[in-house]
Amino acid sequence: MSWQGAGSPGVASSECSHTWGLMSGFELRLATMQDVESLRSLIAASCRQLTTGDYTEEQIEAAIGSAWGVDTQLISDATYFVAHSGHEIMGCGGWSRRSTLFGADGASGRSAAELEPGRDAAKVRAFFVRPDWARRGVGRSILERCESEALQAGFTKAELMATLTGVRLYSAMGYRAQDPVTVTLPAGIPIDFVPMRKALV
């Protein structure tokens, strides 16, 4: 099965990402609740190793499990994907038709309110890559799949809250950065993120 998306004209974007993934040693599938513990471990390792050039150790530890973590609503909605090879997970990421822009299950200010396709922007959510699989096409493949499915669901634009580390990937994928925002983490620790948006059509 293929999904017509925002890739090259006449080419199904998720089919391209699937083919690229196979060439790179991984495939994409929907995440399940059985993946949650593995995802939590992957996310913690990803944050602790890949964001150290942009955030302090104090910020990273405060963000894990609050701003950064598993959102099981995405899994329930069947809009969250993992890149895998057999039982091994290399990365994860998803999109959402709900209002929450970022944050794990335990984050404050979450909203399950549904967005209106064609008017609201789909949310790109919770992208993390295992450190030894960074810069090997995992994030790009998942993002292409998410954009394609959001477009099929009627959304014409997407938005996300990027880490300072993630801005580079999203910029390369056509997202435009807005002014950075400062978010207060547990224990009152401030951290900077970057809202980004992209037209899907």
Domain of 79, CATH number, reads 3.40.630.30
- Mean pLDDT score, 78-93: 96
Statement: the pTM of the whole predicted model exceeds 0.75: yes
Residue 49 to residue 178: CA distance in whole angstroms: 26
Using only the alpha carbons of the chain, give its radius of gyration: 16
Is 6 inside a domain boundary? no
Report the DSSP pairing between strands 157-162 and 176-177.
Answer: unpaired
| Neighbour count for residue 86 (Cβ, 10 Å) | 7
pLDDT for 125-138, tens place per residue? 999 999 999 999 99
pLDDT score at 106: 83
Other beta carbons within 10 Å of 123: 25
Residue 3 in any domain: the answer is no
Determine the pLDDT at residue 192: 98
The Cα–Cα gap between 60 and 58 comes to 6
Q: Is residue 1 included in any domain, yes or no?
A: no
Number of folded domains that form the chain: 1
Classify residue 40: in a domain, yes or no.
yes
Q: So what's the pLDDT on residue 28?
A: 97
Burial class (CB in 10 A: 0-12, 13-18, 19+), 143: buried
Distance CA 14, CA 161 (A): 23
Query: Where residue 9 falls among pLDDT bands split at 50, 70, 90?
Result: very low
Q: Which domain holds residue 76?
A: 13-102+109-199
Report the length, in residues, of the chain: 201
Is residue 169 one of the residues assigned to a domain? yes
Does residue 86 lie in a domain region? Answer: yes
